[in-house]
Chain A
């Protein structure tokens, strides 16, 4: 039977802050990562656990001016059912649908994906490509950290021991398009070999559809190809200011293959990841260009 560290289940955030200020505790949200760790097969279990599940202050999806705010306890199922997400962040809905199956989507949370800091966290490239930021809180107050600064090293985050991730803020940019692709062993219930999220603005206003107008504000983020979720900034620069033509796609794919340095592990090889990431990017640009 798994180990059962002592757990506290506060009902309000202030109580959770007080518990964390008193002694460090490993937070648990939907448990889809932590409960597996408690089988003892994945390193030392935590000494004590802080159960966040009853903190309703960390729930809810809201359109907040020019951003969508998602509480840290928002489940993937809630994202899939959210009218706000369908309208403003369909790419996040798409990503949520690829994570585990119904059983995992009903428990796994966006905040848990962020705080667990797995390089294979499927929503993390989407959050990076969307310029998301994370609101962290403690008894000392709140602060905001951009996604780009949140994962400094393998399985590390910007959270300090008495802090909790409260909500995720995703700015809405007029004219932004985003795409998501996950490559795994099977379509459901698999851990990713490569995750790609691509964002851009094509500057075309309203109905003046010009399929080859140049892209700006290009964002390319990837998962499972480095120790953390990453932005591929050299490849972004290779696409920036160019229309989605075959030349752009070739150049982007070639740049990305040179920019990535993935590793071999139980799920895939470095070479496969490099080739597939480049191929997926090429395909995303081709689909956007309509050729």
Chain B
């Protein structure tokens, strides 16, 4: 066991776990951030995608000893406040980009990396950006539409600063 310090969604955290503990397990079990899902556990499906220093990674393949001093962003950080959604999340809702939901957090994080890097509403580029994320329900089209919609910055009725009111 040893102490590992990093930030999650901007907040500093310290966990005392074995260095080879997967980032995925630390997020879910130690920090109770269960938005990040485990799919295959071997870097194929992308369900556990989080951003590590801004770059999408499979959190099942990252030992916590390598996260020391880094910043981690998870799906929990996308919502600007309780009961509200960020624009990308709202677009998924609007297009029907989620069915069973297991791939959704990973899709959202991969797409966030794409949008943060200035990606536009280009079908091929969007598909490449989520090539590491498998979805067995949607056929991808509605997910791609949601990302394109967000990239284009239109089509979503926003309330407040880029959020959508869920009435919660």
The interface size of chain A toward B, counting residues with CB under 8 Å, comes to 32
Contact across chains for B20 and A32 when beta carbons are under 8 A apart: no
Q: Which residues of A contact B22 (CB under 8 A)?
A: 1-2, 35
Given contacts A2-B22, A7-B63, contact A106 B43 (CB under 8 A): no
Q: Across the A-B interface, give the 3 residue pairs with the lowest CB-CB distance, nearest first.
A: A101-B132, A188-B131, A7-B19
* Cβ-based interface call for B16 (8 A): no
Taking a contact as CB atoms closer than 8 A, the residue among B41, B57, B110 that contacts A107 in the complex is B57
Q: How far is the CB of B57 from chain A (nearest CB, A)?
A: 5
Name the residue on A nearest B50 (C-beta). Answer: A103
| A window 23-49: CB within 8 A of B | 28, 30-32, 35-36, 38-39, 49
Q: Which residues of A contact B65 (CB under 8 A)?
A: 7, 9, 51, 53
Q: For the complex, what is the distance from the CA of A28 to the CA of B20, rounded to whole Å?
A: 10
Q: How far is the CB of B73 from chain A (nearest CB, A)?
A: 13
How many residue pairs link A and B with beta carbons under 8 A? The number is 97
Most buried by B among A53, A107, A188: A107
Q: Which residues of A contact B41 (CB under 8 A)?
A: 2, 39
| A window 72-129: CB within 8 A of B | 77, 100-104, 106-107
Most buried by A among B19, B41, B46: B19
Q: Which residues of B contact A49 (CB under 8 A)?
A: 20
Q: For the complex, what is the distance from the CA of A56 to the CA of B58, rounded to whole Å?
A: 22
| B window 75-94: CB within 8 A of A | none
Contact across chains for A103 and B20 when beta carbons are under 8 A apart: no
Task: Annotate A232-243 by CB proximity to B: 1 below 8 A, 0 otherwise.
Answer: 000000000000
* Cβ-based interface call for A5 (8 A): yes
Contact across chains for B57 and A103 when beta carbons are under 8 A apart: yes
Taking a contact as CB atoms closer than 8 A, the residue among B25, B42, B44, B110 that contacts A39 in the complex is B42
Contact across chains for A51 and B132 when beta carbons are under 8 A apart: no
Q: How far is the CB of A142 from chain B (nearest CB, A)?
A: 25
